[in-house]
């Protein structure tokens, strides 16, 4: 919700949910313009959300709250592959302050969803297909109470061997009712039997990448008087989200009203549904506003990532360096569910030869399901993976020909009028040669070290060193730790870091909860839990525990109840 939003009506007769404008300066509705730029092309228009974002007055969905608001949290599987034997929510439901616990049986509409193809369950009910898959969700009066309720849900799993190799997935027994191969895309161009005088081949593997946007997923759902729901959400595709949410809620689309409450960074990861369905289900079930916010750990579980890829290429060329044929096999790991894997694969296959003139091609692409985390959109959308392969091949081919790598690329650069391997003729501009030549004209940055002290990066490093405070004033593990650590796990000593107490670690239940892991994951305790090395008396305070206490300190301000759960109506958190 932007700072210029108009008041929003209450969800029910006993809930008031009005928005407030943080400041008059941020609440302008005009759009100032400046004189035309770039030789008079158009106008330079000020972004209306620019001033409030720069000043910190912009209200993202994570900043919003409503009177009577509950806090939602999701229980996720700690296993990448397992059968669900039983789910017992009775203990969580009996807890004071817990308003609702929902599982797969509580989904009133379609039990599955998906961006391009519905194949992902709202909650896993029989089988878990990746670590972090949602099992249940709760709504409670306080975020810490919601976390306790999640920990109280008992799930019995029959753990299976996960399928993690994308190549093996092509012929392996299916892990999904629709099979393991999401899409096989063959591409043939020209004479597939052609061969060059010089051939080079290589196999390349790229790992998973995460978008790691600044603002983790968050949303606020408010039940409406007409039986629908209002959702304030950080997302990329409001209308596509609405259609998927409405289908799972069993509501017509006009009763699911979504407001973009800021984006907070996305890079493709917010194209897919994350918490939208869960938070709306909880709001409708309790008839109260419900807010959900993922922490960074849960965000990694809760959204799609860039596809890992395994690529094989064989490039053919004549002795002069002209490309004759490209053979390729691309395997993209889509994880447990389809998301946009089909479209990402199409990009990877169609651009597998790069910006080069290739008369003949024999390319096969596969997007497959595995028990790895789901993958989908991320900047480049399949082209990034293919680029790593074809550019590595061009370097290998240049070495085999004893030719300058730049000269080889310029010799084969696409031009207007050339035909792509897809059969499309390039009719527009194709400045491949100009881009390569402009890149070559720029000097490479100096290597790190004292020799580069006079360069721009060297000056930046020198400035940072000069501005850095003396070692005795810097905070770190060897100097000071946050006050929250004092008297919690170790005793403060001026000569060094916290030291363990003789009577061992604390048994406070907040610390115990943190040790069991975040993001609602339930990890079974080993039989020798009491004898675990980190629990024995005299064990030093590990860095892992220190980081967790820091997060706890930041997450729970002293005035939490007044700030997060008080106030009247839907407002920006002060």
| pLDDT tens profile 252-271 | 999 999 999 988 888 888 99
Q: Are residues 193 and 322 in the same domain?
A: yes
Name the more confident of 76 and 501: 76
Q: Are residues 202 and 349 in the same domain?
A: yes
Q: Are residues 322 and 193 in the same domain?
A: yes
Using alpha carbons, select from 366, 373, 336 the residue that is nearest to residue 176. 336
pLDDT at 527 over 90: no
Q: Are residues 51 and 174 in the same domain?
A: no
pLDDT score, position 38: 56
| pLDDT tens profile 359-381 | 999 999 999 999 999 999 998 98
pLDDT score, position 40: 58
Mean pLDDT, residues 534-544 taken together: 43
Q: Are residues 51 and 170 in the same domain?
A: no
pLDDT score, position 448: 79
pLDDT score, position 268: 87
Confidence of residue 447 (pLDDT cuts 50, 70, 90): confident
Decide if 269 is inside a domain: no
Average pLDDT, the chain: 79
Using alpha carbons, select from 373, 332, 432, 315 the residue that is nearest to residue 79. 373
At CA 271, angle to CA 265 and CA 277, rounded to 5?
105
Q: Are residues 186 and 320 in the same domain?
A: yes
Q: Are residues 52 and 171 in the same domain?
A: no
The CA distances from residue 504 to 484, 528, 552, in Å, are 18, 17, 21
Count: domains in the chain: 2
pLDDT score, position 515: 33
Decide if 5 is inside a domain: yes
Name the more confident of 496 and 38: 38
The CA distances from residue 69 to 59, 100, 143, 572, in Å, are 17, 13, 11, 13
| pLDDT tens profile 417-445 | 999 999 999 999 999 999 999 999 998 88
Name the more confident of 558 and 301: 301
Decide if 356 is inside a domain: yes
- Domain holding 24, by residue range, is 1-11+19-32+47-56
pTM above 0.75, yes or no: no
pLDDT score, position 541: 42
Share of the chain above pLDDT 70, in %: 71
Mean pLDDT, residues 165-188 taken together: 97
pLDDT at 87 over 70: yes
Give the distance from CA 118 to its chain's centroid: 19
pLDDT score, position 45: 77
The CA distances from residue 335 to 65, 347, 561, 564, in Å, are 35, 18, 40, 36
DSSP 531-560: G-GGGSTTPPPPHHHHHHHHHHHHH--TTH
What are φ and ψ of residue 229, in 5° steps?
-150, 145
Decide if 335 is inside a domain: yes
Decide if 533 is inside a domain: no
Lowest mean pLDDT segment, chosen from 306-310, 341-345, 513-517: 513-517
How many whole angstroms separate alpha carbon 18 and alpha carbon 571? Answer: 7
Decide if 113 is inside a domain: no
Task: Using only the alpha carbons of the chain, give its radius of gyration.
Answer: 28
pLDDT at 456 over 80: no
pLDDT at 129 over 60: yes
Q: Name the H helices within 181-309.
A: 238-249, 276-286, 296-302
Q: Kindly state the DSSP code that residue 187 receives in the 8-state scheme.
A: E
Token pair 């297909």 is at which residue? 129
pLDDT score, position 189: 98
Share of the chain above pLDDT 90, in %: 62
Q: Kindly state the DSSP code that residue 158 receives in the 8-state scheme.
A: E
Decide if 93 is inside a domain: no
Bridge partner list, 71: 140, 291
pLDDT at 570 over 70: no
Lowest mean pLDDT segment, chosen from 3-17, 326-340, 519-533: 3-17
Cβ–Cβ < 8 Å for 309, 180: no
State which of 388, 408, 441 marks the end of a domain: 441
State which of 393, 424, 441 marks the end of a domain: 441
| pLDDT tens profile 474-491 | 343 333 333 322 222 333
pLDDT score, position 370: 98
CATH number of the domain that 338 lies in? Answer: 3.30.365.10
Decide if 219 is inside a domain: no
pLDDT score, position 6: 31
- Most confident of the following: 19-28, 387-396, 444-453: 387-396
| pLDDT tens profile 194-230 | 999 999 999 999 999 999 998 999 999 999 999 999 9
Confidence of residue 67 (pLDDT cuts 50, 70, 90): very high
């Amino acid at each position: 919700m932007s700072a210029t939003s108009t008041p929003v009506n209450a969800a029910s007769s006993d809930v008031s949910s009005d928005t407030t404008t943080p400041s008059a300066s941020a609440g302008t509705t005009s759009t100032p313009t400046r004189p035309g730029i770039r030789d008079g092309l158009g106008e330079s228009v000020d972004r209306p959300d620019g001033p409030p974002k720069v000043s910190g007055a912009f209200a993202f969905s994570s900043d919003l709250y409503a009177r009577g608001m509950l806090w939602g949290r999701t229980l996720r599987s700690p296993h990448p592959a397992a059968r669900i034997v039983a789910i017992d929510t009775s203990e969580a439901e009996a807890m004071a302050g817990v308003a609702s616990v929902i599982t797969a049986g509580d989904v009133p509409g379609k039990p599955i969803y998906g961006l391009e193809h519905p194949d992902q369950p709202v909650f896993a009910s029989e089988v878990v297909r990746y670590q972090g898959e949602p099992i249940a969700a709760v709504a409670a009066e306080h975020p810490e109470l919601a976390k306790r309720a999640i920990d109280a849900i008992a799930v019995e799993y029959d753990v299976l061997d996960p399928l993690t190799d994308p190549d093996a997935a092509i012929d392996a027994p299916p892990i999904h009712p629709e099979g393991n191969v999401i899409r096989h895309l063959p591409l043939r161009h020209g004479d597939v039997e052609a061969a060059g005088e010089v051939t080079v081949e290589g196999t390349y593997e790229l790992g998973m990448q995460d978008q790691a946007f600044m603002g983790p997923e968050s949303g606020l759902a408010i039940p409406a008087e007409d039986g629908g729901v209002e959702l304030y959400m950080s997302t990329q595709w409001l209308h596509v989200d609405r259609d998927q949410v409405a289908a799972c809620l069993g509501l017509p689309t006009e009763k699911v009203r979504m407001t973009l409450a800021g984006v907070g960074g996305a890079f493709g990861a917010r194209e897919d549904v994350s918490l939208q369905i869960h938070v709306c289900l909880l709001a409708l079930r309790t008839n109260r506003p419900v807010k959900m916010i993922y922490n960074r750990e849960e965000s990694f579980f809760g959204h799609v990532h860039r596809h890992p890829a395994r690529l094989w290429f064989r490039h053919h060329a004549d002795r002069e360096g002209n490309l004759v044929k490209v053979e390729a096999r691309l395997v993209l790991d889509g994880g447990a569910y389809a998301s946009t894997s089909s479209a990402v694969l199409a990009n990877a296959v169609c651009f597998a030869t790069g910006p080069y003139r290739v008369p003949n091609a024999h390319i096969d692409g596969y997007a497959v399901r595995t028990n790895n985390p789901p993958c989908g959109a991320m900047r480049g959308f399949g082209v990034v993976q293919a680029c790593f392969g074809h550019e590595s091949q061009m370097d290998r081919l240049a070495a085999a020909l004893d030719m300058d790598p730049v000269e080889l690329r310029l010799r084969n650069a696409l031009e207007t009028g050339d035909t792509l391997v897809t059969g499309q003729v390039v009719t527009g501009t194709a400045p491949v040669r100009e881009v390569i030549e402009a890149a070559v004209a720029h000097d490479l940055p100096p290597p790190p070290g004292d020799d580069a002290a006079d360069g721009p990066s060297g000056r930046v490093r020198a400035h940072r060193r000069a501005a850095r405070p003396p070692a005795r004033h810097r905070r770190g593990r060897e100097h000071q730790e946050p006050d929250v650590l004092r008297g919690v796990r170790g005793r403060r000593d001026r000569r060094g870091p916290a030291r363990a107490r003789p009577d061992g670690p604390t048994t406070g239940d907040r610390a115990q909860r943190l040790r069991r892991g975040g993001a609602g994951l339930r990890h079974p305790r080993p039989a020798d839990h009491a004898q675990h090395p980190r629990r024995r008396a005299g064990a030093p305070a590990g860095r892992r525990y220190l980081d967790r206490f820091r997060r706890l300190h930041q997450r729970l301000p002293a005035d939490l109840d007044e700030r997060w759960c008080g106030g009247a109506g839907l407002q920006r958190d002060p």
